[in-house]
Amino acid sequence: MTQTLLALDLSTAHGSIAVVRGDDVLFRSSFQSERSHNAQVFAPLREALAAAGDELTGIVIGNGPGSYTGVRIAIAAAQGIALSRKVGCIGWSSLTAPDVEAPASYSIVGDARRQSFYLARVQEGRLLPDLEIVSADVARERTANGDTWLTFDPKPPLALSQVIAARPDAAKLAKAVQTLSADELAELAARPLIPHYLAEAFITMPKRPVITSQP
């Protein structure tokens, strides 16, 4: 049976929404938003649901890595639609769906904050699990190996001229998921939807003790 998938990616400032049925893209929309995905996503999302109609069979969200807030908004929206439409909802790596021409296998470099960078590899449409967090010097050295390198940052980190800037494309995200087996789709649907974290949360401890009033 041909799936009709709603795909949603808010992992970068470039929001992307699409409805895909087989090889056909029934709806595609994108918008630019630095910090207000929640204000801009719902109008195109309504149009996407209208395009899907009653034939919606599943929802795909790009789970990053990227904007924690954006991915959480995508998850909340997807879960609400999935509940009301009684369809499954899965997360898939945003890094597997670049909006530029790229080979089936490529490498990714991105800013991991706190003067570190992440290196990842997509192999035949799948994100490999061995993502690395490295220093600036290592990132410069590794990206000079002649491979195809992409970044999903707004601009290539460290001013690396050989790195191609890309953004996640929701239609490509849906088409990637369509190639998965029924068993893998069922396994993904059973997993909780969470953002792809690059590192454990960084917690800042208070410098001064908290003073509370005495009873």
Collapse the DSSP code of 42 into the 3-class scheme (helix H, G, I; strand E, B; otherwise coil) and give the result. Answer: helix
Phi, psi angles (nearest 5°) of residue 101: -70, 130
Sort 74 into a burial class: Cβ within 10 Å, 0-12 / 13-18 / 19+.
buried
- What digits encode the pLDDT tens for the residues 114-129? 899 999 999 999 999 9
Cα 96 to Cα 88, 100, 124, 175: the distances in Å are 20, 11, 9, 11
pTM: predicted TM-score of the whole model, two decimal places: 0.87
At 24, the amino acid letter reads: D
| Cα gap 153→119, rounded to integer Å | 13
- What digits encode the pLDDT tens for the residues 12-47? 999 999 999 999 999 999 998 766 566 788 899 999
pLDDT at 203: 47
* Chain region(s) in the chain for CATH 3.30.420.40: 4-94+169-190
- What digits encode the pLDDT tens for the residues 61-101? 999 999 888 999 999 999 999 999 999 999 999 999 999 99
- The CATH code belonging to domain 4-94+169-190 is 3.30.420.40
| The residue to which tokens 């088409």 are assigned | 175
> What are the beta bridge partners of residue 20?
5, 25
